[in-house]
């Protein structure tokens, strides 16, 4: 395809973008994507395999997804009288909300640093995006948020609870103030992708705020591969969002796998508890290495700050350990790395690689 044709048919802002980077992790200890490292027990895997083998792959899914939605509502604490809308991961839900709210001149607002797809999805839908910097300790700057809301009157305000990539769990009082400030002029999407590790939620508070949307995913629970997200809100909002949702957006294998695993949530809860415990242990171990700042986290990852983070990142790569070089994401994240909390074995591998990388830098400084 000629360059002139691309320039004629592809939007200039799209041409200026780079594709979402996903590094090849083959052969690495993979600690960059906030995945649950645990699989289902062998007996459950066998039973799930039998269920999947019986799926009618020649038929479209039942588009209402009634059974799956009912199980999500029952197991995930959705208040009585509220329903959920399903998406192919949280990314599709964010896109659905963006498209549905993309009136001329409408704006999207979110704290930064935050999940990159809030801004990307806004741009794709033709919405203006406004980022409001967090404080230096990664807590909400409530005064700045309220001032931005008053100035921009955003149609959509995102609050990740807890936040990615910082792990911060914002104060509930600050969240309430933002919900009230937005009021009837827009919606507030509380993104609870990491809720199993925070054990705090605005889901029970849906009846209090008619502009509240609570969004979650099963990815961090240990089901990242099936790509399933869901969001709950008042019936009037969900009805409009559903008009934008592509038909049959959840495939039959995802539907069957999710329904099966939701019947075994005790196993997911056990895994989440193990990762919460490991988070504390890993934070303490990193702090003991010395000269590393470990930020409080309510997610399944830790954000750390250390001198020469780029060189340490390179040293970890040489030792086949892949983390996220968060310093490239936002100025507030300078010299920060984000590390997925994993199994004891993988956490130990990371710590060894971290110490060796730091020792190597120390030797180089003496030369």
For position 349, what pLDDT does the model report? 97
For position 221, what pLDDT does the model report? 82
pLDDT at 242 over 70: yes
Q: Which CATH architecture has domain 3-40+266-366?
A: Alpha-Beta Complex (3.90)
DSSP percent split of the chain into helix, strand, coil, nearest 5: 50, 15, 35
The contacts of residue 133 (CB under 8 Å, 6+ apart) are: 111, 112, 141, 144, 332
For position 219, what pLDDT does the model report? 85
The whole-angstrom separation of Cα 153 and Cα 96 is 20
Asked whether 152 and 106 are in contact (CB, 8 A), the reply is: no
Alpha-carbon distance values, 41 to 91, 128, 258 (Å): 29, 46, 16
For position 62, what pLDDT does the model report? 87
Confidence band of 21 (pLDDT split at 50, 70, 90)? confident
The three-point CA angle 30-251-77 to 5° equals 75
CATH of domain 58-263: 3.40.640.10
The whole-angstrom separation of Cα 137 and Cα 134 is 8
As given in the structure block, the two tokens for residue 204 are 């029970």
- pTM recorded for the entire structure: 0.94
87 forms beta bridges with 229
Confidence band of 351 (pLDDT split at 50, 70, 90)? very high
Closest alpha carbon to 309 in 292, 332, 290, 296: 292
The whole-angstrom separation of Cα 327 and Cα 332 is 8
For position 5, what pLDDT does the model report? 87
For position 367, what pLDDT does the model report? 57
pLDDT at 85 over 60: yes
Domain extent listing, the chain: 3-40+266-366, 58-263
pLDDT at 1 over 80: no
pLDDT at 195 over 90: yes
pLDDT at 106 over 90: yes
């Amino acid at each position: 395809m000629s360059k002139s044709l691309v320039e004629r048919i592809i939007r200039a802002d799209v041409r200026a973008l780079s594709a979402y980077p996903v590094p090849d992790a083959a052969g690495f200890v993979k600690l960059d994507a906030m995945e649950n490292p645990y699989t289902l027990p062998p007996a459950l895997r066998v039973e799930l395999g039998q269920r999947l083998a019986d799926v009618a792959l020649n038929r479209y899914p039942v588009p209402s997804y009634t059974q799956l939605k009912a199980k999500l509502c029952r197991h995930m604490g959705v208040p009585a009288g509220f329903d959920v809308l399903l998406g192919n991961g949280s990314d599709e839900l964010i896109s659905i909300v963006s498209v549905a709210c993309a009136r001329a001149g409408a704006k999207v607002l979110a704290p930064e640093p935050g999940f990159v797809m809030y801004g990307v999805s806004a741009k794709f839908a033709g919405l203006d995006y406004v980022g409001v910097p967090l404080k230096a300790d990664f807590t909400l700057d409530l005064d700045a948020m309220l001032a931005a809301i008053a100035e921009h009157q955003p149609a959509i305000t995102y609050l990740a609870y807890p936040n990615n990539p910082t792990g911060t769990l914002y104060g509930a009082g600050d969240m309430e103030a933002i919900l009230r400030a937005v009021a009837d002029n827009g919606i507030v999407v509380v993104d609870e992708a990491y809720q199993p590790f925070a054990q705090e939620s605005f889901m029970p508070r849906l009846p209090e705020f008619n502009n509240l949307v609570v969004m979650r995913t099963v990815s961090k629970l240990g089901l990242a591969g099936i790509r399933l997200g869901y969001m709950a809100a008042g019936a009037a909002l969900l009805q409009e969002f559903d008009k934008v949702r592509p038909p049959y957006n959840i495939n039959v294998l995802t539907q069957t796998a999710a329904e099966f695993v939701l019947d075994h949530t005790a196993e997911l809860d056990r895994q989440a508890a193990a990762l919460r415990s490991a988070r504390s242990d890993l934070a303490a171990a990193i702090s003991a290495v010395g000269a590393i700042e470990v930020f409080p986290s309510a997610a399944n990852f830790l954000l750390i700050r250390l001198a020469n983070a780029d060189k340490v990142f390179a040293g970890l790569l040489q030792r086949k350990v892949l983390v996220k070089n968060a310093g490239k994401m936002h100025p507030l994240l300078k010299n920060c790395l984000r590390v997925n909390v994993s199994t004891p074995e993988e956490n130990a591998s990371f710590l060894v690689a971290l110490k060796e990388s730091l020792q190597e830098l120390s030797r180089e400084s003496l030369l």
